[in-house]
Structure 1
């Protein structure tokens, strides 16, 4: 004999969906764009819910919209409920969640991200990632990518930008060269260059006050991780970019041969609007930011 369950006392579901998008994305306009409705429709839906509840869900002032405590409470439950329904639909249809597609520079992916992916999988086994290292410029939210890890001086362009870590340049070489002063070492072994970053040695040499290696001589590679491997093999001195080379320094396969120079640029996570407020996006964002902070501190 089946047991009857009490009826669910639910608010109107259509307005709830529009409210959830507005709260998650931080505004009526962004919610309207995501759901292909007008901002006035989102505003009307929120007012409908407020009338049903007898409570304000947003504060409206000169700065825009902010969630009230009641709004934050409802948003958390609504987002969790909609995500649960989405997962259930995916299971019933025999499909997997779309996951997050991330664009990453090849050397960052090879040197820093790949060694840490097993730990990410252990911590969040349900988090689905698609990593791309194509070199063309991408725009998160363009239908192909949800996020990108980029080097820039400051936020520039669409999407939501989160600062991850400042970049620094430091000359590094194999441990067998550790006892030789850098000027004397550069007289004995080649300076290693990255073809797209040949200005690095000139910038660091001017900043550090040492003679600049000739950019037309020595060894040159088109990938940063290949240049680092050549230096670790004792083939010369390369300017490493931190925190990408943080693991090499932590393991001792490369040793610093001079001071760290701030480049004025930083690593940023650029995401499509609202991704960091969704469960998968929040998990990835927090994991990435925390691990890059740790790598920068260790280096």
Structure 2
């Protein structure tokens, strides 16, 4: 005997109602789900129209559930929690650690890590695993869902989403504040990053200067370590913005010149199809919104490059 079909309203509207009822706030539900408050209001109204009964009382003091809303919220929360437990078991059985993101060490440590608490607050059910190995990333081999990369434009397969332009600025310890870059480099060696050998050459060429001698300065394999060395007075390092914004804002290092536009940008590169999945879309929208919020109006006006499809991305 065939089972009777389920008499359910649209599940998307039911999920939005559950978040709104749990938070007693359309704005908080919108933040959790990555939608606008008006979209939450519209979904709740659609659900109320479908049921023919009010689910919320709306007044000057805010929102409160009606008895019918409390009944529906209890059952909806129980159902979604049950589904979440099943999904977690299925992912665990497959060895799935959530969204797997490959990022350069400095981007991960200096920019992404300090903001993960905000991501967790907004989307507590979203699981993210960060890897910072220096390697080629095959986005189609099942190891990674996203890679954060620096490039002038989409340079290979993958679904590319432009995040923010990259700028370079020479920095030194706070004791050298007020000196220009020439005066500082007359007293300090350049600090080199072995994984970004072109940075000093590009910056120096744009300034009409000779790059600092590689043999004279210290060498590190990450920008993060180079900035730490500059903060300790060991030389002049090239900071990449926006990932090193906090180092300048906190006064750990001081800028010796105006930031230089490089023509490069940070990109989020996804495996094919990940941006159409809920977790992937939420993570991508959050990451882009966080970086865009820190851009100047001129930088925000830079047109985005459409995504292209494929499977490989360079670190």
When normalised by structure 1's length, the TM-score is: 0.67
Q: Secondary structure at the match of 2:293?
A: helix
The equivalent of 1:230 in structure 2 is 229
Q: How does 1:1-299 map to 2 (within 5 A)?
A: 7-8=5-6, 87=84, 89-90=86-87, 95=92, 98-297=97-296
Q: What secondary structure, in the 3-state scheme, does the structure 1 residue paired with 2:114 have? A: helix
Q: Classify 1:205/1:7 alpha carbon distance in 2 versus 1 (closer, same or farther; 3 Å).
A: closer
Distance 1:157 1:85 in 2: 41
Gaps of 5+ in 1: 1-5, 11-82
Closer, same or farther: CA 289–108 of 1 in aligned 2, 3 Å: same
Aligned residues: 223
| 1:172 Cα deviation from its structure 2 partner | 1.1
Aligned in 2, Cα 1:92/1:269: closer, same or farther, shift over 3 Å? closer
User: CA 1:210 to 1:130, structure 2 compared with 1: closer, same or farther past 3 Å?
Assistant: same
Q: Give the match for residue 58 of structure 1.
A: none
SS in 2 for 1:252: coil
Q: Higher relative contact order at CA 8 Å, sep ≥6: structure 1 or structure 2?
A: 2
Shift of 1:256: 1.4
Q: Aligned Cα RMSD in Å? A: 2.8
Change (3 A) 1:283 1:205: same
Partner Cα separation in structure 2 for residue 92 and residue 183 of structure 1: 60
Q: Distance in 1 between matches of 2:117 and 2:161?
A: 24
CA contact (8 A) 1:183 1:210 kept: no
Q: Output the CA distance in 2 between the equivalents of 1:244 and 1:126.
A: 26
Gaps of 5+ in 2: 9-79, 300-315
When the two structures are superposed, what TM-score results if normalisation uses the length of structure 2?
A: 0.64
Q: CA deviation at 1:297?
A: 4.1
Q: Describe the SS at the equivalent of 2:124.
A: coil
| CA deviations over 1:188-231 (Å, ceiling 9, x no partner) | 11211112333322321221233432222122112211100011
8 Å Cα contact 2:178-2:256 kept in structure 1: no
**Matches of 1:161 and 1:84, distance apart in 2:** 33
Distance 2:5 2:216 in 1: 78
SS state at 1:263 partner: strand
Q: 1:146-182 CA distances to partner (integer Å, 9 max, x unpaired)?
A: 1111111211222211001111111111221012222
Per-residue CA deviation, residues 69-120 of structure 1 (Å, 9 max, x unaligned), is: xxxxxxxxxxxxxx99963532576948752111111121111111111121
Residues 108 and 244, structure 1, Cα contact 8 Å, conserved in 2 = yes
Aligned with 1:267: secondary structure? strand
